[in-house]
Chain A
Amino acid sequence: MAFLQWRRFNFFDKEPVKDPTTDQIFDQLKDYNVSACTSGRGQLIIGDFEGNLYFINRQMELTAFRAYEIRVTHLLQLKQHNLLISIGEDEQGINPLIKVWNLEKMDRGNPACTRLTRAIPGNKPTPVSAFSVHENLNFMAVGFENGVVLLYKGDVTRERHSKSRNVFEGNKRVTGIAFKSQGKDVYLFVVTENATVSINITSKDQMKVLENAGASPGCIVMSDASQDHQLIIGRQDAVYFYQPDERGPCLAFEGTKLQLHWFRGYLIVVGKDSKGVARPPVLGPHGMEMNTVTVYDIQNKFIAYSAPYPEVIDVFCESGSIFIFTGDRKLYQLQEKDTQSKLEMLFKKNNYTLAISLAKSQQLDQDGLIDIFTQYGDHLYSKGDHDGAIDQYIKTIGKLEASYVIRKFLDAQRIHNLTKYLQALHTSQTATEEHTTLLLNCYTKLKDVSKLDEFIMTKNRAVDFDVETAINVCRQSGYCEHALALAEKHKKHEHYLKIQLEDIKDYQRALQYIGKLDFESAESNLKQYGKILMNQVPKPTTELLKRLCTDYRPTDKPLIDQNTLEGKTLIPHHAILISSGIPSRIQKANAEEFIHIFVNNSSKLTEFLEHMIEVQPNSSNLVYNTLLELYLHDMVHEKDITARVERERKTLDLLKNPDANYDIDQALILCQMNNFKAGILYLYEKAHLYQQILRYHMDHFEFVHVIDACKKFGQQDPQLWVQALSYFASREDSCKSQLMETLSNIDKKNLLPPLMVIQILAHNSTATLSVVKDYIVRRLQMENDQITEDERLIKQYREDTDKKRTKIEDLKTSAKVFQASKCNICNLPLEVPSVHFLCEPHSYHQHCFESYSENDMECPVCAPENSKIMDIIRAQEQSRDIHEFFHNQLERAPDGFSVVADYFGRGVFNKVTLITDQHNKSGSASSR
Chain B
Amino acid sequence: MSYAYLFKYIIIGDTGVGKSCLLLQFTDKRFQPVHDLTIGVEFGARMITIDGKQIKLQIWDTAGQESFRSITRSYYRGAAGALLVYDITRRDTFNHLTTWLEDARQHSNSNMVIMLIGNKSDLEARREVKKEEGEAFAREHGLIFMETSAKTAANVEEAFINTAKEIYQKIQDGVFDINNEANGIKIGPQHSPASQSLNVGGSGGNQGGNCC
- Answer yes or no: A893 CB below 8 A from chain B CBs: no
B143 — which chain A residues lie within 8 A by C-beta? none
B41 — which chain A residues lie within 8 A by C-beta? 249-250
Question: Is B39 touching A4 in the complex (CB atoms < 8 A)?
Answer: yes
With A207-B207, A238-B71, A252-B71 as contacts: A6 and B33 at CB distance below 8 Å: no
Interface stretch of the complex, out of B49-57, B61-69, B166-174: B61-69
Within 8 A of A (CB), among B69-115: 70-71
- Answer yes or no: A914 CB below 8 A from chain B CBs: no
- Answer yes or no: A2 CB below 8 A from chain B CBs: yes
Please pick, from B36, B43, B68, B204, the residue contacting A252 in the complex, using a CB distance under 8 A.
B68
With A4-B67, A206-B203, A237-B70 as contacts: A252 and B33 at CB distance below 8 Å: no
Question: Is B40 touching A252 in the complex (CB atoms < 8 A)?
Answer: yes
- Answer yes or no: B42 CB below 8 A from chain A CBs: yes
- Answer yes or no: B136 CB below 8 A from chain A CBs: no
With A353-B34, A388-B33 as contacts: A251 and B43 at CB distance below 8 Å: no
A686-B36 Cα distance, complex, nearest whole Å = 105
B195 — which chain A residues lie within 8 A by C-beta? none
- Answer yes or no: B32 CB below 8 A from chain A CBs: yes
- Answer yes or no: A383 CB below 8 A from chain B CBs: no
Please pick, from B39, B43, B203, B207, the residue contacting A6 in the complex, using a CB distance under 8 A.
B39
Please pick, from A5, A7, A207, A249, the residue contacting B42 in the complex, using a CB distance under 8 A.
A249
Question: Is A249 touching B43 in the complex (CB atoms < 8 A)?
Answer: yes
Question: Is B204 touching A204 in the complex (CB atoms < 8 A)?
Answer: yes
A239-B71 Cα distance, complex, nearest whole Å = 11
Q: How far is the CB of A745 from chain B (nearest CB, A)?
A: 111
- Answer yes or no: A248 CB below 8 A from chain B CBs: yes
Question: Is A250 touching B207 in the complex (CB atoms < 8 A)?
Answer: no
With A238-B40, A301-B36 as contacts: A250 and B71 at CB distance below 8 Å: yes
Q: How far is the CB of B189 from chain A (nearest CB, A)?
A: 11
- Answer yes or no: B198 CB below 8 A from chain A CBs: no
Q: How far is the CB of A242 from chain B (nearest CB, A)?
A: 13
A251-B203 Cα distance, complex, nearest whole Å = 32
Mask for A350-361, Cβ within 8 A of B = 1, else 0? 000100000000
Question: Is B39 touching A237 in the complex (CB atoms < 8 A)?
Answer: no
A881-B201 Cα distance, complex, nearest whole Å = 133
Q: How far is the CB of B21 from chain A (nearest CB, A)?
A: 13
- Answer yes or no: B175 CB below 8 A from chain A CBs: no
Within 8 A of A (CB), among B174-205: 203-204
- Answer yes or no: B123 CB below 8 A from chain A CBs: no
A239-B40 Cα distance, complex, nearest whole Å = 9
Mask for B19-42, Cβ within 8 A of A = 1, else 0? 000000000000011101101111
A207 — which chain B residues lie within 8 A by C-beta? 207
Q: How far is the CB of B43 from chain A (nearest CB, A)?
A: 5
- Answer yes or no: A253 CB below 8 A from chain B CBs: yes
Q: Which residue of B lies closest to A352 (CB)?
A: B34
Q: How far is the CB of A613 from chain B (nearest CB, A)?
A: 70
B15 — which chain A residues lie within 8 A by C-beta? 2
Mask for A250-279, Cβ within 8 A of B = 1, else 0? 111100000000000000000000000000
Q: Give the B interface residue count (CB, 8 A).
A: 21
Question: Is A206 touching B40 in the complex (CB atoms < 8 A)?
Answer: no
- Give the most central of B33, B39, B68: most A CB within 10 Å: B39
Q: Which residue of A lies closest to B58 (CB)?
A: A246
B36 — which chain A residues lie within 8 A by C-beta? 6-7, 301
A388 — which chain B residues lie within 8 A by C-beta? 33
A207-B206 Cα distance, complex, nearest whole Å = 11
A248 — which chain B residues lie within 8 A by C-beta? 43
Question: Is B71 touching A237 in the complex (CB atoms < 8 A)?
Answer: yes
Known: A2-B15, A239-B40, A250-B40. 20 other contacts (CB 8 A): A2-B37, A2-B65, A4-B39, A4-B67, A6-B36, A6-B39, A7-B36, A206-B207, A207-B207, A238-B71, A248-B43, A249-B41, A249-B60, A252-B39, A252-B40, A253-B39, A301-B36, A353-B32, A353-B34, A388-B33
Q: Which residue of A lies closest to B206 (CB)?
A: A206
Interface residues on A, range: 20 to 34
Within 8 A of B (CB), among A1-47: 2-7
A239 — which chain B residues lie within 8 A by C-beta? 40
Within 8 A of B (CB), among A169-222: 204, 206-207
Q: Which residue of B lies closest to A388 (CB)?
A: B33
Q: Which residue of A lies closest to B60 (CB)?
A: A249
A301 — which chain B residues lie within 8 A by C-beta? 36, 39
CB-based closest 9 A-B pairs? A252-B40, A250-B40, A251-B40, A252-B39, A250-B41, A249-B42, A252-B68, A249-B41, A2-B37
Within 8 A of B (CB), among A97-111: none
Q: Which residue of B lies closest to A254 (CB)?
A: B67
A238 — which chain B residues lie within 8 A by C-beta? 40, 71
Q: How far is the CB of A115 from chain B (nearest CB, A)?
A: 33
B32 — which chain A residues lie within 8 A by C-beta? 353
A249-B42 Cα distance, complex, nearest whole Å = 5
Q: Which residue of B lies closest to A211 (CB)?
A: B74
Question: Can you list 18 pairs linking A and B with CB atoms under 8 Å apart?
Answer: A2-B37, A2-B65, A4-B67, A4-B68, A204-B204, A206-B203, A206-B204, A237-B70, A237-B71, A238-B71, A249-B60, A250-B40, A251-B39, A251-B40, A252-B63, A301-B36, A353-B32, A388-B33
B63 — which chain A residues lie within 8 A by C-beta? 252
- Give the most central of A3, A237, A252, A388: most B CB within 10 Å: A252
- Give the most central of A3, A250, A253, A388: most B CB within 10 Å: A250
A425-B85 Cα distance, complex, nearest whole Å = 38
Q: How far is the CB of B28 from chain A (nearest CB, A)?
A: 12
A252-B62 Cα distance, complex, nearest whole Å = 11
A5 — which chain B residues lie within 8 A by C-beta? 39
A4-B71 Cα distance, complex, nearest whole Å = 14
A237 — which chain B residues lie within 8 A by C-beta? 70-71
A6-B37 Cα distance, complex, nearest whole Å = 8
A252-B39 Cα distance, complex, nearest whole Å = 5
Q: Which residue of B lies closest to A300 (CB)?
A: B36
A6 — which chain B residues lie within 8 A by C-beta? 36, 39
A7-B203 Cα distance, complex, nearest whole Å = 45
A858-B59 Cα distance, complex, nearest whole Å = 142
Within 8 A of A (CB), among B108-131: none
Mask for A453-497, Cβ within 8 A of B = 1, else 0? 000000000000000000000000000000000000000000000
With A4-B67, A238-B71, A388-B33 as contacts: A249 and B39 at CB distance below 8 Å: no
A350-B37 Cα distance, complex, nearest whole Å = 18
Q: How far is the CB of B129 from chain A (nearest CB, A)?
A: 22
Q: Which residue of A lies closest to B67 (CB)?
A: A4
B60 — which chain A residues lie within 8 A by C-beta? 249
Q: How far is the CB of B196 from chain A (nearest CB, A)?
A: 12
Q: How far is the CB of B31 from chain A (nearest CB, A)?
A: 10
B37 — which chain A residues lie within 8 A by C-beta? 2-4
Q: How far is the CB of A251 from chain B (nearest CB, A)?
A: 4
Q: Which residue of A lies closest to B33 (CB)?
A: A388
Q: How far is the CB of B25 from chain A (nearest CB, A)?
A: 15
Q: How far is the CB of A230 from chain B (nearest CB, A)?
A: 12
A48-B68 Cα distance, complex, nearest whole Å = 41
Mask for A220-254, Cβ within 8 A of B = 1, else 0? 00000000000000000111000000001111110
Q: How far is the CB of A814 from chain B (nearest CB, A)?
A: 147
Q: How far is the CB of A514 from chain B (nearest CB, A)?
A: 47
A252-B72 Cα distance, complex, nearest whole Å = 10
A204-B201 Cα distance, complex, nearest whole Å = 11
Q: Which residue of B lies closest to A213 (CB)?
A: B74
A204-B41 Cα distance, complex, nearest whole Å = 33
Q: Which residue of A lies closest to B8 (CB)?
A: A246
A251-B71 Cα distance, complex, nearest whole Å = 9
A353 — which chain B residues lie within 8 A by C-beta? 32, 34
Q: How far is the CB of B157 from chain A (nearest CB, A)?
A: 22
A251 — which chain B residues lie within 8 A by C-beta? 39-40
B207 — which chain A residues lie within 8 A by C-beta? 206-207
Q: How far is the CB of A247 from chain B (nearest CB, A)?
A: 8
